[in-house]
Structure 1
Amino acid sequence: MNTIAANIKRQPANQPQTLYKILIILGLCHLLNDSLQAVVPAMFPILQKSMSLSYTQLGIIAFALNMVSSIMQPIVGWYTDKKPMPFALPIGLTSTLIGIILLALVPSYTLVILSVMLIGIGSAIFHPEGSRVAYMAAGTKRGLAQSIYQVGGNTGQALAPLITALVLVPLGQIGGLWFAPVALTAVLMLAYIANWYTSQLSLNRKKKIHSSSETKPLTKKIWMALAILLFLIFARSWYISCMTNFYAFYLIDNYSFSIRESQIYIFAFLAAGALGTFFGGPLADRFGRRNVILASILGSAPLTILLPYAPAPLAFVMLLLTGFVLMASFSVMVVYAQELVPGKVGTMAGLTVGLAFGMGAMGSVALGSFADAAGMPLTIKLVGMLPLLGLLGLFLPSDLNWRIGQREV
């Protein structure tokens, strides 16, 4: 009994610390990375007018950006689980830097596609490695750490409407050059993170952190849990893709908004989503990953279904609530997958976050084509039903056991 008590007293001292300095710098880098990526959909109204593009063509641009990132993220994560590459972080942002410069200058639709693919490559490299750094710096607060990391990215995405209203509307396509210094700043900050990452690798190599978890095969229940989780990501990603890429056109057509006014609404949705992302992680640390995932997806369904029927002032409030509730599960799903399959931090981050981009990519093309054929109002109404698929979350196993290191589900 005394031995047990002594072990309990010693345990807190052996717990790894949460490194807030690294997490905050990483979150800021994520903000810069995703604000650069957000320039692409933010430029849609500009490109539509200057190049006379259809909704389908805009969807293909989003597809090129997100699909490259989606395909590469799990591959990068899988490879770096075996052979971590700290300096891939600044190298990836260099690809984004080149892409953002080209996007501001290219005169043709084909070259726009090439530009966004370079941005997608940078994103594919950054996200799984960034998630790994957040995991390494988390200590015992994995939900909070992932939230700090992910809230940076979602805040960067939320800046897209402001980018449109304040930079791209007055300056046009060439305004994208203003973001080249942003990309360079991110490269320099990630060089600092890469140095810290390298030092941690030498320590972790001595401890052989992943050796035991890699020998355990995945059970059928774990595979089923992953399949359900990915399907929920599919539902959330299609809805968010519709809102970020096309809801501005709905506002312009149905409420007679200007481009600038419509972007304020999109900003409200994304900014509330960033806030929800931050609070989702700590709530999951306290109440469980599965519970927060369920509350997030299903809790947003009444709002998304009623949103198309709301008058403009009420729609603004509903957008705030929808963004907060729906995005509360963003970082939680990443941590859920990483704890479900220990030792595969990069692979799970690439799979969950990468799939989100990929599903958004396919959604952009499909929803753009549907909107061309059936109209944007019907598209928005039907997409509002997607969060009802959150009912599948009832079949997710409770994380209360395996989130502390056990694998029984």
Structure 2
Amino acid sequence: MRRPIVLLALGHACVDMYQGAVAALVPFLVAERHYSYAAVSGVVLAATLLSSVVQPLFGALTDRWAMPWLLPVSAFVGGAGVALAGVGDSYALTVVAVAVSGIGVAAYHPEAARVARAASTGSHTAMGWFSLGGNVGFATAPLLVAAVVATGGLGASPLLVVPAIAGAALCVAGIRATTRGNAAGKRQSGGIDDWRSFGRLSGAIVCRSIVFVGLSAFIALHAGGGAQGTTALFVLYLGGAVGTVAGGRLANRYGRVPVVRAAYALTILAVAGVVLTSGPALLAFVALASAGLYVPFSLHITLGQDYLPRHVGTASGVTLGLTVSVGGAVAPLIGALADATSLRAALAPLVLVPAFGWLLLRPLREPAQPERFLSGAG
């Protein structure tokens, strides 16, 4: 694996740790501040909605200009917001802090996806490793938050800024390594945009987002909270590490679209198991759901970029950002339904969501990969 991809993947891990950290803070906000399900859903919404809406705007900017400097700056901002989330007792301050973190994440992903795709020279496996970095960050977030907040309380949250500093440094190193290969600064505009296929793909990613955000926000509480809850959240994120790498390798053999369709089908059965079981069986189904949700993760990015070869930044911003906003918006509805009924009943509708995503994916065909990537695909 090329050194630029390794550095970019490590930086990606540090950034996405803060996306996972918001969900990991939920049980502590409930325990220490006595927030309701609806209130903590609002915190999750603040972390995702603004980020998701703003992200395509950053993507459009990167379609016009190379802005690799955004990577280290946004990595630090994303971490600083989460680090401030536990300071004081103000709900408004908490919401603002995670929203600032979301803006940092929004600024990072479109440009990072563009730089990583260029550095990978079109390899699905290399992009899988880049995406794996983000998934590892998600997976380690509950452990980091538990280590800091469980021992020092929410007031110790400023210590959570440390990975952001490391992430900014890794981004700088990754950009320099990629620039030396003359990949980061090239603007790409060849090919014909297929907006209809991109729209179907985006709709399917919305379905994936609803399931993922819903499980991320509530799986720890559904599993019983405490150590069991932290374990369930860790499994949800860690299973993605395997799924992302497997997705790239499976795509090399079977093609991206068939692999993505199969992953959505697996997710239907896995989410049903999560809702209906408990104990060790619950963890097993959480792992399957994680695989189903993460196998298509890096494939979504490259498919979107290849459906819109003239607007790679926009495609990256939408597939990584805007489509996530619906998942964040649905989280408060799940929380309100859980307050009115039960958490299990509130999670039950999530079983149907990946089925709709699968239907959207059925007509899709494999897009032509840009010529500049064909020599590096694999």
TM-score by length of 1: 0.85
Which residue is equivalent to 1:74? 56
Q: Which has the larger radius of gyration?
A: 1
Q: How does 1:8-407 map onto structure 2 within 5 Å?
A: 20-141=2-123, 143-198=124-179, 205=186, 210-213=188-191, 216=192, 218=193, 222-252=194-224, 258-389=225-356, 390-399=358-367, 402-403=368-369, 405=371
> How far apart are 1:196 and its partner, in Å?
4.0
SS, match of residue 159 in structure 1: helix
Counterpart CA distance in 1 for 2:275 and 2:189 is 51
> How far apart are 1:195 and its partner, in Å?
3.1
Counterpart CA distance in 1 for 2:31 and 2:21 is 16
- The answer as to whether partners of 2:195 and 2:307 remain within 8 angstroms in 1 is no
Counterpart CA distance in 2 for 1:98 and 1:380 is 32
- The answer as to whether partners of 2:81 and 2:99 remain within 8 angstroms in 1 is yes
Gaps of 5+ in 1: 1-18, 253-257
Counterpart CA distance in 1 for 2:137 and 2:345 is 29
Q: Measured at CA, do residues 53 and 132 of structure 1 come closer, stay the same or move farther in structure 2, by a change above 3 Å?
A: same
SS, match of residue 35 in structure 2: coil
SS, match of residue 396 in structure 1: coil
**Segment drifting more, 41-50 vs 163-172:** 163-172
Gaps of 5+ in 2: 373-378
Counterpart CA distance in 2 for 1:302 and 1:42 is 25
**Segment drifting more, 304-313 vs 346-355:** 304-313
> How far apart are 1:53 and its partner, in Å?
1.3
Counterpart CA distance in 1 for 2:203 and 2:6 is 30
Q: Measured at CA, do residues 249 and 97 of structure 1 come closer, stay the same or move farther in structure 2, by a change above 3 Å?
A: closer
Matching residue's letter, 2:220: A
Matching residue's letter, 2:188: H
Give CA deviations for 1:222-244 in whole Å, capped at 9, x if unaligned.
Answer: 22211211111111111111111
SS, match of residue 403 in structure 1: coil
- The answer as to whether partners of 2:236 and 2:287 remain within 8 angstroms in 1 is yes
Matching residue's letter, 1:244: S
> How far apart are 1:404 and its partner, in Å?
5.1
Counterpart CA distance in 2 for 1:101 and 1:269 is 23
- The answer as to whether partners of 1:23 and 1:145 remain within 8 angstroms in 2 is yes
Q: Measured at CA, do residues 370 and 47 of structure 1 come closer, stay the same or move farther in structure 2, by a change above 3 Å?
A: same
Matching residue's letter, 1:235: C
Counterpart CA distance in 1 for 2:139 and 2:281 is 20
> How far apart are 1:200 and its partner, in Å?
5.6
Which residue is equivalent to 1:13? none
Counterpart CA distance in 2 for 1:265 and 1:197 is 37
Matching residue's letter, 2:366: S
Give CA deviations for 1:338-389 in whole Å, capped at 9, x if unaligned.
Answer: 1111132221111101034312211212212222223211112221222211
Query: Percent same amino acid among aligned pairs?
Result: 27
Counterpart CA distance in 2 for 1:164 and 1:91 is 22
Counterpart CA distance in 1 for 2:370 and 2:178 is 24
- The answer as to whether partners of 2:87 and 2:154 remain within 8 angstroms in 1 is yes
Count of aligned positions: 371
Give CA deviations for 1:82-135 in whole Å, capped at 9, x if unaligned.
Answer: 011111111112322431332232331111111111111110111111111111
- The answer as to whether partners of 1:334 and 1:349 remain within 8 angstroms in 2 is yes
Q: Measured at CA, do residues 201 and 39 of structure 1 come closer, stay the same or move farther in structure 2, by a change above 3 Å?
A: same
Give CA deviations for 1:155-214 in whole Å, capped at 9, x if unaligned.
Answer: 111123323443322321123222222111111121223334555668855xxx53444x
Counterpart CA distance in 2 for 1:78 and 1:68 is 16
Counterpart CA distance in 1 for 2:188 and 2:26 is 44
Q: Measured at CA, do residues 394 and 173 of structure 1 come closer, stay the same or move farther in structure 2, by a change above 3 Å?
A: same
Q: Measured at CA, do residues 157 and 166 of structure 1 come closer, stay the same or move farther in structure 2, by a change above 3 Å?
A: same
Matching residue's letter, 1:158: A
Counterpart CA distance in 1 for 2:223 and 2:197 is 38
Counterpart CA distance in 2 for 1:176 and 1:106 is 10
> How far apart are 1:77 and its partner, in Å?
0.9
Which residue is equivalent to 2:375? none
